[in-house]
A and B are shown apart, each in its own frame.
Chain A
Amino acid sequence: MLVLPAVAGLVFLVLPLAGLLIRAPWPTLLERLAEPQVLEALRLSLVCASVATAVCLLLGVPLAWLLARVDFPGRRLVRALVTVPLVLPPVVGGVALLLVLGRRGLVGQWLEATFGITLPFTTAGVIIAEAFVAMPFLVISVEGALRGADQRFEEAAATLGASRWTVFRRVTLPMIMPGVVAGAVLCWARALGEFGATITFAGNFPGTTRTMPLAVYLALETEPEAAIVLSLVLLAVSVIILASLRDRWVSSP
């Protein structure tokens, strides 16, 4: 009774990927990959996803530490808020970012007036949109690692004269590194595939904000084979990430 729907589910999940492989224009693959627009989108995607991941690490790791180690009123609420971008439709995230950081947004207005900085429809905007959507993956992963880490090592470090910052840098961080790396990889993958928030907040300008997913969507109308090639690249990246995560950090019994 259970096997049939299980097989159907598996086919449902795998068939589209198989279709992608079957319809791929293998003979002209390398040629198409070398096209300037493709390379440009790929480069932009990699740079934006990497910078967004760096931003997430810089802000998300301390946030995870705060959630896991500091007992403050409203901690549960903060944790819930952190996970909102996880369930929020990315387009809504993009709209929200526009409302706050857009030229006439709450913060955006002030940014432009004070520093002359405009974020929407720039590469920086892509990075912000990706970081907004991807950060919860990092925070959740790092917080889990922190909760799993034996806090008595931190106590031992304190008895040796280590300040809070030294304890974090020299004891806590090295011990939770697998969790941080896993979180960063998930975060990076999510940022790489970001579409909704990016197109809403940063638009779709070749060279500055047109990342791979945007290029795929655009190419589908004009040049379906290019879309397939770009999709294959994203698929390959996903598979590599999944494989690396499985081997090193998500070792299931």
Chain B
Amino acid sequence: MTLHARLVVTRPAFTLDIDLRVEPGEVVALLGPNGAGKTTALRALAGLTRMSGGQIGLRGRPLHTLPAESRPIGMVFQDYLLFPHLSALDNVAFGPRCQGVPKTEARRAAAALLERVGLAGRAAAKPRQLSGGQAQRVALARALAVRPELLLLDEPLAALDAHTRLEVRSQLRRHLNDFDGVTVLVTHDPLDAMVLADRLIVIENGAIVQQGTPGEVARRPRTDYVARLVGLNLYRGLADGTQVKVDELLFSTADSLDGPAFVAFAPAAVALYRSRPDGSPRNLWQATIDGIERHGDNVRVHLDGPIAAFADITPAAVADLDLTPGQRIWASVKATETHAYPA
């Protein structure tokens, strides 16, 4: 039931061209900034957006030649698109009915699915009477009711508030685990992607820029966008042994390699000093404070200078150092907290 696809969609000033290979039971998240083309990719898989080229194969059968209604898919839309005039039960029974299942049987199957997502008591409710989290679960049940081989989820949690999101996310993870077909989901939220997916595919400007397990992507970002998502400072340089040259700065790192390389370190690993520290620690540079903002329990300092960087320090440290924007300051990061990997 492997999904094997090359999706090409050409629009004025935008081209999507990506290769996808997803195994049965695997959950792949397409992650990317707004306008990167991830929803377009999902719509192309569903048959809702015409492809300019490429092909889609599912279990060796071509899918791209079929109209949306003939594809073995189930789709959960960002704002769910539950049919407002039908009850939750009839929304879920809609797909089976379209496949020719008799009414009573379709409704029985729908009731069983609603029970599985914990909504047996809301079967008669109209979509407008459901909470966001409930609507999301009905949408999932509706998509699963057609027994799809390919499950597509477009920003499945984006419309939920933070609290509901936490709860629905873990439930969704469980349902995706139980699903033995191919799952492709689209999100711009790194946390959703990390929790829900077995593998991340990062899309920027219509092309894949990085893919791997959530752990790999989080540890070794390859673009500024991914680095920002996972909260790391990221630079591209030239490695020579345990040293990486980034512009004029020479970074000492824990890893040894040669050639073009990325250097990444966490903002919390950056230490700040008012005057040049004694003993000249390595990886030291002079920076200008560009901005200071709250970041969780800490304070995030934006540094400008030979390299742009974020430093996370405690509010107490901000007070001790008496930091103000525009101020010159020394910054350093330990070699053991600096990771280098091939670019």
Instruction: Decide: B67 and A158 in contact? CB cutoff 8 A.
Output: yes
Instruction: Decide: B68 and A158 in contact? CB cutoff 8 A.
Output: yes
Instruction: Decide: B98 and A166 in contact? CB cutoff 8 A.
Output: yes
Q: Which of B80-98 contact A (CB under 8 A)?
A: 81, 83-85, 94-95, 98
Interface string of B143-185 (1 = CB under 8 A from A): 1011000001000000000000000000000000000000000
Q: Which of A147-183 contact B (CB under 8 A)?
A: 150, 152-153, 155-163, 166, 170-171, 174-175
B49 to chain A, nearest CB (A): 10
- A: interface residue count bin: 10 to 19
| One of A159, A160, A166, A170 near B48 (C-beta < 8 A) | A159
Interface string of A24-37 (1 = CB under 8 A from B): 00000000000000
| One of A152, A162, A170, A174 near B69 (C-beta < 8 A) | A162
Instruction: Decide: A159 and B46 in contact? CB cutoff 8 A.
Output: yes
- Kindly state whether residue B74 has any CB partner on chain A within 8 Å: yes
Distance of A159 Cα from B95 Cα, bound (Å)? 8
Find chain B residues with CB under 8 A from A153 CB.
81, 83
- Kindly state whether residue B99 has any CB partner on chain A within 8 Å: yes
Distance of A175 Cα from B83 Cα, bound (Å)? 8
Q: A152-B81, A153-B83, A175-B84 are in contact. Are A158 and B94 (CB under 8 A)?
A: no
Distance of A160 Cα from B68 Cα, bound (Å)? 8
Chain B interface mostly helix, strand, loop or mixed? mixed
Find chain B residues with CB under 8 A from A156 CB.
75, 77, 81, 83
Find chain A residues with CB under 8 A from B47 CB.
158-159
B83 to chain A, nearest CB (A): 6
Find chain A residues with CB under 8 A from B67 CB.
158
Distance of A158 Cα from B48 Cα, bound (Å)? 9
Which B residues are closer than 8 A to A by beta carbons? 46-48, 67-71, 73-75, 77, 81, 83-85, 94-95, 98-99, 142-143, 145-146, 152
| Given A157-B98, A158-B47, A162-B69, 16 further pairs, Cβ under 8 A | A150-B81, A156-B81, A157-B83, A157-B94, A158-B68, A159-B68, A159-B69, A159-B71, A160-B95, A161-B70, A161-B98, A161-B146, A166-B98, A171-B83, A174-B85, A175-B83
